[in-house]
Structures are given as structure tokens and as C-alpha cells.
Structure 1
């Protein structure tokens, strides 16, 4: 009688152990999925912020460039356009970050140690 009870308890223990390990696998899969969803949302927020910043940079760049071109025509000094060289790179970087593949290139270069 005791042997039969012990065998039944061992069988139940093994079933419970198997069930718990399956639950742990399911829980781990859900955590991985949730982490991926959070990462994608974070990237979407970064892209949205970059696009918003690009709108501001482009508006400033366009307005300042139109004003500078008007100043060059009146004053006949092409040196007024020199500050637009680095500003062009800034606007191009923001455009690449907002609408190009800059973010995927950045994540591709991440070195995980």
C-alpha cells in the first residue's frame, strides 16, 4: 500500500515538474516577446522625435538660407553663405536619421560584449 502511494506521488511529482518547466518556457517566450515589443516602441519614438527635430531644422535652414541669399544679392558678399556648409551637414544628418536608414545602421554597429 505504501509503495503504491509513493509511486503515485512520484508520478504526480514528475507531471508537476514537467508542467512547471513548460510554464517557465511559455513565460520566458512571453517575456522575450514583450521585450521586443518595448524595443520596437522605443525605436518608433526615436524615429518620431527625429522627424520632429528634422522639421524644425529644415524650417530654420530654409528660412535662414532664403534670408542669406537675399543678403548676398544686396551686399554682394558671398561669404554670408559660409555658415550654411556645416548647417547643411546637420540637416542632412537629421534627414537621414528621420527618413533614411541611419537608425538601422546604428543598431547594426552595436557591439555587445
Structure 2
């Protein structure tokens, strides 16, 4: 009778551990999602302010170029336009999707990029590969 109670307690303990790990993972994923959402929302807000600035400065630079009869006032519009385009693509286009696909490709095809330096004393390269399940035969 004592052994059945002990076995039952061990099973309950294992179930509780699994449930606790599941809850910890769920909390971690929700926290990650919240942090990413905050960063993304912040980026969108910054883009809105930057685009407003660009929309204001654009006609002023054009007017300055016409008034001075020189193309120099237009020059700042070029790099600012690239920055504005990049931010638009990041927050309203599909840049995040392209970044995620490239990250997946790097993890799959070039895992050696993420190895620790030899003297880091965190984990050895073999332990790292074992933990992440990296196939040593794969290039």
C-alpha cells in the first residue's frame, strides 16, 4: 500500500511539474509577444512622426531650391526619403516577414554563425550542438 501511494505521489509530482513548465512557457511567450508588440507599436508611432516631418520639410526644400536656384536644398530629401521608405516597409510592408525568413535560413544553413567564442566558457561547441540538435554532418 505504501508503494502505491509513493507511485501515485511521484506521478502527481510529474504532472505538476509538466503543468508548471507549461504555464512558465505560456507566460514567457505572452511576455515576448507583449514586448514585440510594444516595440512594433513604438516603431509605427515613430514612423508617423517621421513621415509628418518629411511631408513638412519636402515642400520647404523644394521652395528653397527654387528660390536659391540651386539643387543643394533638395539634397537632404534623398537620405531622409530612404529612411522614411525603410520605416514604411518595416512597419506597414512585409520587411518583418523577409527578416524572419532570412533568420530561419541562417539558423538552418549557417548555425556556426551563432557559436560562442572558444574562450567564453559558457558551453562547448559540442554541447551547443547537442542542446540545439544541430546535425554535425550538415555544413
In the alignment, the residues of structure 1 paired with residue 89 and residue 46 of structure 2 have an alpha-carbon distance, to the nearest angstrom, of: 12
**2:18 corresponds to 1:32:** no
Aligned to 2:128: none
Q: Which structure's CA Rg is the greater one?
A: 1
Aligned length: 106
TM-score, with structure 1 as normaliser: 0.82
Gaps of 5+ in 2: 108-113, 116-139
CA contact (8 A) 1:47 1:97 kept: no
1:62 aligns with 2:62: no
Higher relative contact order (CA closer than 8 Å, sequence separation 6+): 1
| RMSD value, Cα | 1.8
The alpha-carbon deviation at position 100 of structure 1 amounts to 2.3
Q: Which is helix-richer, 1 or 2?
A: 1
Partner residue of 1:95 out of 88, 100, 123: 88
Q: Using structure 2 for the length normalisation, give the TM-score.
A: 0.68
Equivalent residue runs for 1:4-43 within 5 Å: 8-43=1-36
Structure 1 alignment gaps of length 5 or more = 1-7
